[in-house]
Amino acid sequence: MHKSLTAGAFGGFLFVLVAGALMIPRQDQLQLGFIDSQAVIGAYPGTAEAQATFAAENDAWQRQATDMQDEIDRLNQELERQSMAMTQERRTQLTAELQQKAMAYQSFIDEVWGQTGRAYQRNQELMRPIIDMVNALLEKVGQEEKFDYIFDAASGGIVYADPKYDLTPKIIEMMGTGSGPDLH
Protein backbone atom coordinates (compact mmCIF):
# COMPACT_ATOMS: atom_id res chain seq x y z
CA MET A 1 0.00 0.00 0.00
CA HIS A 2 2.83 2.38 0.80
CA LYS A 3 4.37 1.93 -2.65
CA SER A 4 1.06 2.74 -4.30
CA LEU A 5 0.68 5.97 -2.38
CA THR A 6 4.22 7.01 -3.20
CA ALA A 7 3.81 6.13 -6.87
CA GLY A 8 0.42 7.89 -6.88
CA ALA A 9 1.82 10.97 -5.14
CA PHE A 10 4.79 11.07 -7.50
CA GLY A 11 2.43 10.66 -10.51
CA GLY A 12 0.25 13.51 -9.23
CA PHE A 13 3.31 15.72 -8.66
CA LEU A 14 4.60 14.91 -12.14
CA PHE A 15 1.17 15.72 -13.67
CA VAL A 16 1.05 19.11 -11.91
CA LEU A 17 4.62 19.85 -13.00
CA VAL A 18 3.96 18.94 -16.65
CA ALA A 19 0.58 20.72 -16.74
CA GLY A 20 2.15 23.83 -15.23
CA ALA A 21 4.96 23.77 -17.76
CA LEU A 22 2.45 23.57 -20.59
CA MET A 23 0.64 26.66 -19.34
CA ILE A 24 3.78 28.82 -19.03
CA PRO A 25 4.10 30.88 -22.20
CA ARG A 26 7.38 30.33 -23.94
CA GLN A 27 9.09 32.92 -26.05
CA ASP A 28 10.28 30.39 -28.64
CA GLN A 29 6.90 28.81 -29.42
CA LEU A 30 5.86 28.67 -33.02
CA GLN A 31 3.09 31.06 -33.98
CA LEU A 32 0.74 29.18 -36.32
CA GLY A 33 -2.37 30.31 -38.11
CA PHE A 34 -4.64 29.14 -40.90
CA ILE A 35 -7.07 30.47 -43.44
CA ASP A 36 -9.71 28.95 -45.69
CA SER A 37 -8.58 30.33 -49.04
CA GLN A 38 -11.86 29.43 -50.73
CA ALA A 39 -13.82 31.45 -48.16
CA VAL A 40 -11.35 34.37 -48.38
CA ILE A 41 -11.42 34.51 -52.16
CA GLY A 42 -15.19 33.97 -52.20
CA ALA A 43 -15.73 36.87 -49.79
CA TYR A 44 -13.91 39.36 -52.02
CA PRO A 45 -16.44 41.32 -54.14
CA GLY A 46 -14.21 41.25 -57.23
CA THR A 47 -14.32 37.46 -57.27
CA ALA A 48 -17.98 37.35 -58.34
CA GLU A 49 -17.23 39.72 -61.22
CA ALA A 50 -14.22 37.68 -62.34
CA GLN A 51 -16.24 34.47 -62.14
CA ALA A 52 -19.11 36.00 -64.12
CA THR A 53 -16.70 37.19 -66.83
CA PHE A 54 -15.11 33.76 -67.03
CA ALA A 55 -18.50 32.02 -67.11
CA ALA A 56 -19.68 34.23 -69.98
CA GLU A 57 -16.52 33.55 -72.00
CA ASN A 58 -16.70 29.85 -71.21
CA ASP A 59 -20.35 29.76 -72.31
CA ALA A 60 -19.36 31.33 -75.64
CA TRP A 61 -16.67 28.67 -76.13
CA GLN A 62 -19.20 26.01 -75.18
CA ARG A 63 -21.69 27.30 -77.76
CA GLN A 64 -18.95 27.26 -80.39
CA ALA A 65 -18.06 23.66 -79.46
CA THR A 66 -21.74 22.67 -79.57
CA ASP A 67 -22.12 24.22 -83.04
CA MET A 68 -19.09 22.29 -84.23
CA GLN A 69 -20.43 19.04 -82.74
CA ASP A 70 -23.86 19.67 -84.30
CA GLU A 71 -22.22 20.08 -87.72
CA ILE A 72 -20.33 16.81 -87.23
CA ASP A 73 -23.56 15.06 -86.22
CA ARG A 74 -25.39 16.51 -89.26
CA LEU A 75 -22.67 15.29 -91.64
CA ASN A 76 -22.65 11.89 -89.96
CA GLN A 77 -26.42 11.54 -90.34
CA GLU A 78 -26.25 12.66 -93.97
CA LEU A 79 -23.55 10.11 -94.67
CA GLU A 80 -25.57 7.33 -93.00
CA ARG A 81 -28.90 8.24 -94.64
CA GLN A 82 -27.67 8.83 -98.16
CA SER A 83 -24.69 6.51 -98.28
CA MET A 84 -26.34 4.03 -100.64
CA ALA A 85 -27.59 6.73 -103.02
CA MET A 86 -24.27 8.62 -103.14
CA THR A 87 -21.58 8.23 -105.68
CA GLN A 88 -18.27 6.93 -104.41
CA GLU A 89 -16.78 10.37 -105.07
CA ARG A 90 -19.45 12.13 -102.96
CA ARG A 91 -19.09 9.56 -100.16
CA THR A 92 -15.31 10.07 -100.14
CA GLN A 93 -15.73 13.84 -100.18
CA LEU A 94 -18.26 13.76 -97.30
CA THR A 95 -16.11 11.35 -95.28
CA ALA A 96 -13.08 13.61 -95.71
CA GLU A 97 -15.14 16.65 -94.69
CA LEU A 98 -16.43 14.77 -91.65
CA GLN A 99 -12.90 13.79 -90.61
CA GLN A 100 -11.66 17.35 -91.09
CA LYS A 101 -14.50 18.75 -88.94
CA ALA A 102 -13.93 16.11 -86.27
CA MET A 103 -10.22 16.98 -86.13
CA ALA A 104 -11.03 20.71 -85.99
CA TYR A 105 -13.49 20.04 -83.18
CA GLN A 106 -10.94 18.03 -81.18
CA SER A 107 -8.30 20.68 -81.79
CA PHE A 108 -10.69 23.38 -80.56
CA ILE A 109 -11.52 21.37 -77.41
CA ASP A 110 -7.81 20.91 -76.66
CA GLU A 111 -7.01 24.55 -77.40
CA VAL A 112 -9.75 25.86 -75.12
CA TRP A 113 -10.04 23.30 -72.31
CA GLY A 114 -6.70 21.51 -72.54
CA GLN A 115 -4.28 21.49 -69.65
CA THR A 116 -2.95 24.99 -70.41
CA GLY A 117 -5.72 26.01 -72.79
CA ARG A 118 -7.41 29.34 -73.23
CA ALA A 119 -9.92 28.66 -70.44
CA TYR A 120 -7.15 27.90 -67.95
CA GLN A 121 -5.14 30.93 -69.04
CA ARG A 122 -8.15 33.25 -68.91
CA ASN A 123 -9.14 32.03 -65.45
CA GLN A 124 -5.57 32.62 -64.26
CA GLU A 125 -5.60 36.10 -65.80
CA LEU A 126 -8.88 37.02 -64.08
CA MET A 127 -7.96 35.54 -60.69
CA ARG A 128 -4.29 36.61 -60.56
CA PRO A 129 -4.97 40.13 -59.13
CA ILE A 130 -7.19 38.64 -56.41
CA ILE A 131 -4.67 35.94 -55.51
CA ASP A 132 -1.85 38.51 -55.49
CA MET A 133 -3.86 40.70 -53.11
CA VAL A 134 -4.56 37.75 -50.77
CA ASN A 135 -0.86 36.81 -50.83
CA ALA A 136 0.14 40.39 -50.00
CA LEU A 137 -2.31 40.41 -47.09
CA LEU A 138 -0.96 37.08 -45.85
CA GLU A 139 2.57 38.47 -46.01
CA LYS A 140 1.51 41.59 -44.08
CA VAL A 141 -0.38 39.68 -41.38
CA GLY A 142 2.39 37.09 -41.13
CA GLN A 143 5.06 39.72 -40.58
CA GLU A 144 3.10 42.18 -38.41
CA GLU A 145 1.64 39.53 -36.12
CA LYS A 146 4.85 37.46 -36.13
CA PHE A 147 3.40 34.24 -37.50
CA ASP A 148 5.90 31.54 -38.28
CA TYR A 149 3.51 29.69 -40.57
CA ILE A 150 0.04 30.22 -41.96
CA PHE A 151 -1.69 27.22 -43.49
CA ASP A 152 -4.56 26.98 -45.95
CA ALA A 153 -7.29 24.72 -44.60
CA ALA A 154 -8.77 24.38 -48.11
CA SER A 155 -5.61 23.01 -49.75
CA GLY A 156 -3.60 21.87 -46.74
CA GLY A 157 -0.58 23.83 -47.98
CA ILE A 158 1.54 26.53 -46.41
CA VAL A 159 0.49 30.00 -47.63
CA TYR A 160 2.97 31.98 -45.53
CA ALA A 161 6.21 31.03 -43.83
CA ASP A 162 8.70 33.18 -41.99
CA PRO A 163 11.73 33.28 -44.30
CA LYS A 164 14.02 32.29 -41.42
CA TYR A 165 12.68 28.73 -41.79
CA ASP A 166 13.55 28.49 -45.50
CA LEU A 167 16.16 25.76 -45.86
CA THR A 168 16.45 26.14 -49.64
CA PRO A 169 19.71 28.15 -49.68
CA LYS A 170 21.32 25.74 -47.21
CA ILE A 171 20.36 22.66 -49.24
CA ILE A 172 21.54 24.31 -52.49
CA GLU A 173 24.84 25.22 -50.85
CA MET A 174 25.28 21.69 -49.55
CA MET A 175 24.58 20.29 -53.01
CA GLY A 176 27.15 22.62 -54.54
CA THR A 177 29.87 21.85 -52.01
CA GLY A 178 29.24 18.13 -51.96
CA SER A 179 28.73 18.15 -48.19
CA GLY A 180 25.45 16.25 -48.44
CA PRO A 181 25.01 12.51 -47.94
CA ASP A 182 26.59 10.19 -50.49
CA LEU A 183 23.67 9.10 -52.64
CA HIS A 184 25.59 6.61 -54.77
User: Is 5 within a domain?
Assistant: no
Write the CB contacts of 117 (distance below 8 Å, at least 6 apart in sequence): 110, 111
pLDDT grade, residue 27 (50/70/90)? low
**8 A C-beta contact, residue 33 and residue 147:** yes
Answer yes or no: is pLDDT of 159 > 50.
yes
How many domains does the chain divide into?
Answer: 1
CB atoms within 10 A of CB 35: 19
- Per-residue model confidence (pLDDT) at position 164: 93
Is 42 part of any domain? yes
Domain around 83: 28-172
Identify the helix (H) or strand (E) that includes residue 77.
helix 45-82
The answer to whether position 109 is within a domain reads yes
Reported as a single tens digit per residue, the pLDDT across 89-128 is 988 999 999 999 999 999 999 999 999 999 999 999 999 9
pLDDT digits 0-9 by tens, 8-19: 433 343 333 333
Stretch 139-163: mean pLDDT: 95
Residue 1 lies in a domain: no
pLDDT at 180: 64
Of the listed ranges 44-48, 84-88, 148-152, the least confidently predicted one is 84-88
Render pLDDT for 40-80 as a digit per residue (tens, 0 to 9): 999 999 999 999 999 999 999 999 999 999 999 999 999 99
136 to 95, 99, 110, 156: CA distances (angstroms): 56, 50, 34, 19
What φ, ψ does residue 158 adopt, rounded to 5°? -85, 130
Tens of pLDDT, residue by residue over 162-182, are: 999 999 999 998 888 766 676
- Lowest average pLDDT, out of 79-83, 103-107, 133-137, goes to 79-83
Q: Is residue 184 part of a domain?
A: no
3 is a domain residue: no
Does 16 map to a domain?
Answer: no
The answer to whether position 52 is within a domain reads yes
